[in-house]
Structure 1
Amino acid sequence: MRILVTNDDGIQAEGIQILAELAAELGEVVVVAPDSQRSAASHSITIRNRLYLQEHHLHHSQITAFSLSGTPVDCVKWAVTEMGSFQLALSGINEGANLATDVLYSGTVAAAGEAALQGIPSVALSLCGPPFTFSSVVDPVRKLLKQVVHLTFPSDTFLNVNIPPHILLDNDAPAWQVTELGARTFRDQFFKKTDEQGRVYYRYAGEAVEEPEGERKDVLTVQNGLISVTPLRYRFSELSWMHDLIQQLEESDITELPFNRKEVRKTYGK
């Protein structure tokens, strides 16, 4: 098995070092990660800047590792295009939770999602905290990965795994639970500051607001000391609204709207 390992915390992050070594127990590993911190990069790609590649040596001497001066999704795209086929992609282990609406912003999740779009079974892994004691999650992640390699992933799907800082160990039950996305928003804050040249700038510092309801929600699962395993899919069409939308538009008098080519030219001079 050939495994791609990436992240959004950068090639030097502790989490990716551990994940790469765990993945090496399952097969051949290739690491392609951003050259620096790219948290909250979401699914962005680099189209105007140059991408620089650099080879690295991780603690595990048999692992081929590269950094790319781009986003996590850039790393996946480059690896798939330039490094050949992969049978599994792993993103992480991220320093910080990727729960609920976090998945919209997370570069860790986006990298796994991009791999899924490329037809590769993929998993995003995040360590919630603080504390961020990566050494404590080695055994749970090892066990989870050994199960993941036997799963069948439907098209475009991937797993989002969140690991609590203190895992509840119960010999009579697994340490993980399959979940759906919970409710976790942010109370946005922007702090106004002044730089060395006297220019005003802002720093974002959103505060998480959690609404842990439902036993199968990822937020509550992590709070209860269990590993949350959430299946995700990149399908954005809202089919439940589609029929009603068609009916609403057909019933509205859209023929009266002046939006046609002649009116556009008349209004905008084009």
Structure 2
Amino acid sequence: MNILITNDDGIYSPGIAALANTARQFGTVRIVAPDVEQSSMGHAITHSRPLSYRNSPITFEGIDAHRVNGTPADCVALGLHMYPDTQVVLSGINMGPNLGNSMWHSGTLAAAKQAMLLGITGIALSTPVGKTEPNFGELAPWVSSVLEILLNDKGPALYNVNFPPTPTDISWTRQSV
């Protein structure tokens, strides 16, 4: 499976590295992410200036990674152009939940929506942030379990996954506002 990963927290976020590490077990991972934080950008797209991309300043072992001077939706559109064999887009792991009305402002969820608009399954993944950074090592098996379920679903589809700080079970619901 060919997987494109992006986020709204930027290429330097520990959440994107954690997601890439976990997603590698499911196939070929490529990263196209904003060069700076783009939280709460919603589904903004860039139209009044040229977009550019560069190789990531961060090394993701065995993964092609690029940073873009645009929004999460821009990253998905550009990433799918660069990698037309992509089968799923993963967005996250976002530093902060995407629940209720916050889903309308979320760049993380907008990236997954952009994938869906382009005919590819989009999965947004988030976890809350408290006084300390999330324990991504503790979340990894839960991320893996969720991806195992969702990557086998016939798409295209849009999923918004929110992990609690210390998961103990997987529950499913429909999004409500």
For the aligned pair, the TM-score class normalised by the smaller chain equals over 0.9
In 1, Cα distance between equivalents of 2:166 and 2:150: 22
SS at match of 1:93: strand
For the Cα contact (< 8 Å) 1:127–1:134, is it kept in 2? no
Deviations 1:45-65 (A, max 9, x none): 001122221102655421000
SS at match of 1:33: strand
Deviates more, 1:122-131 or 1:137-146: 122-131
Q: Which amino acid aligns with 1:41?
A: M
Correspondences of 1:65-76 after superposition (within 5 Å): 65-76=65-76
Cα drift, residue 179 of structure 1: 0.9
- Partner residue of 1:46? 46
In 1, Cα distance between equivalents of 2:154 and 2:128: 27
Q: Which amino acid aligns with 1:178?
A: W
For the Cα contact (< 8 Å) 2:45–2:73, is it kept in 1? yes
Cα drift, residue 182 of structure 1: 4.0
In 2, Cα distance between equivalents of 1:31 and 1:152: 23
The structure richer in strand per residue is 1
- Partner residue of 1:149? 151
Alignment partner of 1:103 is 2:106: no
SS at match of 2:51: coil
In 1, Cα distance between equivalents of 2:143 and 2:103: 20
In 1, Cα distance between equivalents of 2:82 and 2:21: 22
Q: Which runs of 5+ in 2 are unaligned?
A: none
For the Cα contact (< 8 Å) 1:17–1:58, is it kept in 2? no
Deviations 1:140-182 (A, max 9, x none): 00111112111123x5x30000001122x2xxxxx11111234
In 2, Cα distance between equivalents of 1:129 and 1:13: 13
SS at match of 1:176: coil
Q: Which amino acid aligns with 1:53?
A: Y
Correspondences of 1:92-241 after superposition (within 5 Å): 92-130=92-130, 131=132, 132-153=134-155, 155=156, 157-167=157-167, 169=168, 175-182=169-176
**TM (normalized to structure 1)?**
0.62
**TM (normalized to structure 2)?**
0.93
Q: Which amino acid aligns with 2:136?
A: F
SS at match of 1:89: strand
Give the RMSD, CA atoms, in angstroms.
1.4
For the Cα contact (< 8 Å) 2:139–2:166, is it kept in 1? no
- Partner residue of 1:37? 37
SS at match of 1:179: coil
Deviations 1:43-97 (A, max 9, x none): 0000112222110265542100000000000000011123222111100000001
SS at match of 1:178: coil
Deviations 1:164-218 (A, max 9, x none): 1122x2xxxxx111112345xxxxxxxxxxxxxxxxxxxxxxxxxxxxxxxxxxx
In 1, Cα distance between equivalents of 2:84 and 2:30: 10
In 1, Cα distance between equivalents of 2:74 and 2:97: 22
Q: Which runs of 5+ in 1 are unaligned?
A: 170-174, 184-270
For the Cα contact (< 8 Å) 1:101–1:181, is it kept in 2? no
Cα drift, residue 31 of structure 1: 0.3
Correspondences of 1:53-64 after superposition (within 5 Å): 53-56=53-56, 58-64=58-64
SS at match of 1:67: strand
- Partner residue of 2:77? 77
Cα drift, residue 101 of structure 1: 1.1
